[in-house]
């Protein structure tokens, strides 16, 4: 079987989609099966996160460079021609922007309906209209849709009428780099960021649906003897979390690290007293899984897909209940035995997810759809 995979999203602008695509291809190649994986790439797009040459060196993987940008009209004409020339059995698109008319069946991974559930996550009314239109066209034109959670599966059925028979839930895994780090590595990363003493960690962007302001408010009320560390890319359009930190006088108790290198994340997770994730909506919730894979105790919101990921590893709280968050954070940060028990539960829960499982389930979808 020859499968084309749109790898143009393995780039800096799409960190989550890029990570999904890169890890999926790597896991598919590891399965063997005698299949060929033709990964469409655009070398002109900025990519400082992933080693595409190493990916292309894996058994069965072939990189197929093309000068077609994402979100471009050209992909509606150039990519179908390219796919036809490849003589593949299908095209797998990892994002809702995809060619709608193809010479072969297509599989679509649709990650979430964030643009509909949390409209403020998109910058304009035009962007929201495009999200709905392109999502509808992508879902309608795909032979099969892969969703990262049962929650996301229900969402596409509700908002776009996608029947369950057309969709398959395949949970993602954590990148192999996410595992408990040695003490000396944790200490080196602590020194790099000036982190003295215990800290609670959040990893993610600062968009409204991530609900970071609730975490800041809860931290102000809990008043623990620890630092709240917020790591992740900051969109300047959403300064609310920083503004709340200043308004509440928390400058000395809350740290903004910005977009930290991927290589530092495992140590940050490992060294955290706990990981807090108050998101209002997720299609999956990869940071939670990464934190658990590193042995961090996890406190998460109970919204959308997050209960599916966390399971019984840690408390699940209403995302907007500041008092519940404050009480839980204060209680856990003063209960070392409880945190140690949660670390063990995190590791056990993370072990239930893997890219090998995801790749095998995805391969089964390919085999059903392929010409």
Residue 253 · residue 228 · CB < 8 Å: yes
Using alpha carbons, list the distances in angstroms from residue 253 to 187, 220, 225, 323: 20, 9, 9, 19
Q: Can you tell me whether residue 292 is helix, strand or coil? A: helix
pLDDT digits (tens, 9 = 90+) for 42-60: 988 887 788 899 999 999 9
What's the average model confidence in pLDDT over 199-217? Answer: 97
How would you class 224 by CB atoms within 10 Å of its CB: exposed for 0-12, middle for 13-18, buried for 19 or more?
buried
* C-alpha span between 73 and 161 (Å, rounded): 26
Tokens of 363: 């391969």
Helices within the chain (DSSP H only):
15-30, 52-56, 78-86, 114-117, 125-141, 150-160, 183-193, 212-222, 240-247, 265-271, 286-293, 306-310, 322-332, 336-350, 355-369
At 48 the pLDDT is 76
Least confident of 9-13, 160-164, 186-190: 9-13
Helix (H, G, I), strand (E, B) or coil at 90: strand
Count of helix runs (H) and strand runs (E) in the chain: 15, 13
Confidence of residue 357 (pLDDT cuts 50, 70, 90): very high
Asked if 2-173+354-369 and 183-350 have one fold, the answer is: yes
Cβ-in-10-Å burial (0-12, 13-18, 19+) of 265 comes to buried
Residue 64 sits at φ, ψ, to 5 deg, of -120, 90
- The answer as to CATH 3.40.50.1000 being correct for domain 2-173+354-369 is no
> Residue 122 has what pLDDT?
82
State the CB neighbour count (10 A cutoff) for residue 59.
Answer: 12
Whether the Cβ atoms of residue 41 and residue 65 lie closer than 8 Å to each other: yes
| pLDDT tens readout for residues 218-259 | 999 999 999 999 999 999 999 999 999 999 999 999 999 999
Read off the pLDDT of residues 257-277 as tens digits, 9 standing for 90 and up.
Answer: 999 998 999 999 999 999 999
Lowest mean pLDDT among 235-239, 242-246, 305-309, 342-346: 235-239
Give the pLDDT score at 32: 87
pTM: 0.95
CA distances from 300 to 22, 224, 304 (A): 26, 18, 11
pLDDT of 315 reads 99
- Integer Cα distance of 316 and 256 in angstroms: 24
Q: What is the DSSP letter of 73?
A: G
Domain range annotation of the chain:
2-173+354-369, 183-350
What pLDDT score was predicted for residue 15?
81
CATH domain 183-350 topology: Rossmann fold (3.40.50)
Are 232 and 204 contacting, i.e. CB atoms less than 8 angstroms apart?
Answer: yes
At 248 the three-state DSSP class reads coil
* DSSP label of 274: E
């Amino acid at each position: 079987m020859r499968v084309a995979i749109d790898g143009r999203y393995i780039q800096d602008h799409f960190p989550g989609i890029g990570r999904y695509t890169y890890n999926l291809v790597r896991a598919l190649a590891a399965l063997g099966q005698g299949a060929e994986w033709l990964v469409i790439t655009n070398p002109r797009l900025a990519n400082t996160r992933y080693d595409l040459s190493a990916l292309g060196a894996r058994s069965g993987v072939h990189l197929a460079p093309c000068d077609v940008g994402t979100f471009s009209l050209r992909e509606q004409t150039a990519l179908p021609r390219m796919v036809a020339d490849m003589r593949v059995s299908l095209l797998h698109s990892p994002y809702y922007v995809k060619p709608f008319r193809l010479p072969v069946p297509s599989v679509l991974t649709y990650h979430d309906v964030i643009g509909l559930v949390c409209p403020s996550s998109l910058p304009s009314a035009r962007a929201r209209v495009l999200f709905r239109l392109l999502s509808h066209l992508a879902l309608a034109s795909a032979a099969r849709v892969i969703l990262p959670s049962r929650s996301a599966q229900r969402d596409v059925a509700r908002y776009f009428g996608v029947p369950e028979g057309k969709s398959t839930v395949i949970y993602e895994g954590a990148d192999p780099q996410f595992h408990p780090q040695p003490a000396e590595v944790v200490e080196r990363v602590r020194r790099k960021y000036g982190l003295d003493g215990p800290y609670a960690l959040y990893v993610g962007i600062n968009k409204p649906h991530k609900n970071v302001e609730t975490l800041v408010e809860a931290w102000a009320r809990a008043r623990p003897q620890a630092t709240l560390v917020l790591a992740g890319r900051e969109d300047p359009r959403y300064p609310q979390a920083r503004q709340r930190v200043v308004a509440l006088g928390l400058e000395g108790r809350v740290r903004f690290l910005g977009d930290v290198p991927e290589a530092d994340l495992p140590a940050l997770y490992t060294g955290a007293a706990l990981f807090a994730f108050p998101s209002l909506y997720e299609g999956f919730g990869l940071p939670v899984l990464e934190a658990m894979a590193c042995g961090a105790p996890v406190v998460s919101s109970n919204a959308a897909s997050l209960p599916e990921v966390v399971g019984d590893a840690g408390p699940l709280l209403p995302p907007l209940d500041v008092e519940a968050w404050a009480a839980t954070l204060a209680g856990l940060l003063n209960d070392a035995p409880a945190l140690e028990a949660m670390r063990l539960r995190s590791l056990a829960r993370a072990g239930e997810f893997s890219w090998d499982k995801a790749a095998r389930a995805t391969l089964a979808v390919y085999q059903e759809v392929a010409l």
